[in-house]
Amino acid sequence: MHSKAAFIVVANRLPIDASVDEESGEVQWVRSPGGLVTALEPVLRDHHGTWIGWAGTTEATPGPVDSEGVRLLPVELSKDEVRAYYEGYSNASLWPLYHDAVEPSVFRRSWWKTYCEVNERFAEVCAAEAAEGAVVWIQDYQLQLVPAMLRERRPDLRIGFFLHIPFPPVELFMQLPQRRQILEGVLGADLIGFQRPLAAENFLKAVETVTEYEPKGHLITVDGRHVSADAFPISIDTEGNTSIASSARVTQRAKEIRAELGDPETLILGVDRLDYTKGIEQRLKAYRELLEDGSMSVPETVMVQVATPSRERVEQYRVLRHRVEREVGRINGDFGKVGLPAVHYLHQSYDRYELAALYRAADVMAVTPLRDGMNLVAKEYCAARIDDSGALLLSEFAGAAGELSGAYRVNPYDITQMKRRFMTAVTAPEEEKRERMEKMRSFLKEYNVDRWARGFLTALGVPESATDETR
């Protein structure tokens, strides 16, 4: 019997996904996709907390496991729940709406019912696991009702909530049929964190418009309680990323990658979950036009596009995959040569070493989302550029654009401008690129994920010692 937890993170996903071998029944764990896991993993390791989340499977859910000092507590979801709560309400209703409705949201009443039930289950599991007065940090759009549900069960807890994705302008948020319930759910927290100040402002405005509460600056009084909403831009484990990138293994692999690609003069890299918010199609279009008008040519220039499989049963993701793969085929058909494709398209997950090697191999990193809460890939690329070389092309619609001022900024909706910026990034003098990269790298040294977590937890009123759980 283990003792109850003093520090708990609740997220839809555990940092590792379970897959159960059909024959042996053995559980195998693989790293889960996405920025939330990347950011929280080092935080939990430092604080020895408990992580409550879904194990990514609807087969027999494994029991709690200990992983590098972190207790992982899986929450079970049935197939129907995954369809309605995860693929439906979370990823077909909320995700597009919160990302500027770049794709239309689908609303179904049955999905909402399951979203409530699953949020309730997360709250129950957490209420049973938390020690008296524990600190609970709830993550992201899949669990927006958990703060209030948990408070109802356990008013003794200190509750934080962090939204990893943007919070939309009120005009868009108003479309959500359950807008009031969602806001009241989040307001169960003591502190609500956002990636950017604009997201916090949008949220406060939505509270003012939709609920009976009246925000005063960043504070909202809810039934006599003070709730605060503010920006806490997330980051990466800069030191860890830099040290992997400096390893002999990665240095060697980066050389191999360039050689395998035919030693191009310019290697352009994209690394994204295959998601319609990431602007992959716009990036490919710009690249195609640059090849068409002769500004770039193969094999002097080569693009590598890594597209991590994501949410593959959601219709809009299927459509996107089809479109991206058709466009890659078209570009290669028109501009590739035998053994020398113009775009290397990799629909796979990689370990941190291979990703770091790709970052080190790339001359230009293209991060061109139509809307993104932060975008950690942009930060990882900078952390990996240990000799201050390389250029980052970064969309102004990524949260990271507010911080990485050395990037070449692009508006991914403006293909002509994106083409120009691509050429600027490719042809800029080495000295200019170095200055830009240096600036971003020194920013990331200071503003790393540890600083993010400390900033949030301090604002939540948690003394540093309180999250060092002794179990």
Residues that bind ligand G6P (CB under 6 A): 12-13, 33-36, 140, 164-165, 310-311
The total of other beta-carbon atoms located within 10 Å of residue 163's CB is: 22
CB of 108 to ligand G6P, least distance (A): 18
CB of 114 to ligand G6P, least distance (A): 16
C-alpha to C-alpha distance for 463 and 257, rounded to whole angstroms: 46
Q: Which of ligand G6P, ligand ADP, none is residue 13 near (CB under 5 to 8 Å by kind)? A: ligand G6P
- Letter for the amino acid at 177? P
Q: Which of ligand G6P, ligand ADP, none is residue 311 near (CB under 5 to 8 Å by kind)? A: ligand G6P
> Closest CB to ligand ADP among 148 and 358?
358
Q: Which residues pair with 272 in a beta bridge?
A: 307
Torsion of CA 410, 416, 419, 420, to 10 degrees: -80
Torsion of CA 446, 307, 411, 258, to 10 degrees: 70
> Closest CB to ligand G6P among 35 and 279?
35
Q: Which of ligand G6P, ligand ADP, none is residue 110 near (CB under 5 to 8 Å by kind)? A: none
CB of 310 to ligand G6P, least distance (A): 5
Nearest residue to ligand ADP on Cβ basis: 35
> Which residues in 289-369 belong to E strands, given as ranges?
301-308, 343-346, 364-367
> E strand or H helix at 41, and its extent?
helix 35-47
CB of 40 to ligand ADP, least distance (A): 11
Contact 70, 50 (CB under 8 A): yes
Of 37, 34, 30, whose CA–CA distance to 91 is shortest?
34
C-alpha to C-alpha distance for 185 and 206, rounded to whole angstroms: 13
Contact 383, 245 (CB under 8 A): yes
Q: Which of ligand ADP, ligand G6P, none is residue 38 near (CB under 5 to 8 Å by kind)? A: ligand ADP
C-alpha to C-alpha distance for 80 and 111, rounded to whole angstroms: 10
CB of 376 to ligand ADP, least distance (A): 4
**Which residues are annotated as catalytic?**
164, 372
C-alpha to C-alpha distance for 119 and 362, rounded to whole angstroms: 42
Q: Which residues pair with 229 in a beta bridge?
A: 192
> Closest CB to ligand G6P among 34 and 188?
34
Distance separating the N- and C-terminal Cα atoms of the chain: 11
Q: Which two tokens stand for residue 2?
A: 């283990």
Q: Which of ligand G6P, ligand ADP, none is residue 350 near (CB under 5 to 8 Å by kind)? A: ligand ADP
Q: Which residues are CB-contacts of 350 (< 8 A; sequence separation ≥ 6)?
A: 306, 358
Q: Which of ligand G6P, ligand ADP, none is residue 448 near (CB under 5 to 8 Å by kind)? A: none
C-alpha to C-alpha distance for 344 and 305, rounded to whole angstroms: 6
- 122-309-329 Cα angle (round to 5): 160
> Closest CB to ligand G6P among 77 and 296?
77
CB of 88 to ligand ADP, least distance (A): 19
> Closest CB to ligand ADP among 91 and 93?
91
| Residues that bind ligand ADP in the complex, under the rule CB under 6 A | 33-35, 38, 271, 273, 306, 308, 348-350, 355, 374-377, 380
CB of 283 to ligand ADP, least distance (A): 14
> Closest CB to ligand G6P among 36 and 267?
36
Q: Which of ligand ADP, ligand G6P, none is residue 149 near (CB under 5 to 8 Å by kind)? A: none
CB of 418 to ligand G6P, least distance (A): 24
Half-sphere exposure of 311 (CA within 13 A, CB side): 24
C-alpha to C-alpha distance for 229 and 214, rounded to whole angstroms: 13
Of 153, 20, 8, whose CA–CA distance to 76 is shortest?
20
> Closest CB to ligand ADP among 349 and 417?
349
- Letter for the amino acid at 139? Q
> Closest CB to ligand ADP among 98 and 287?
98
C-alpha to C-alpha distance for 144 and 98, rounded to whole angstroms: 13
Omega of the bond leading into 299 within 30 degrees of 0 (cis): yes
> Closest CB to ligand ADP among 284 and 374?
374
CB of 260 to ligand ADP, least distance (A): 17
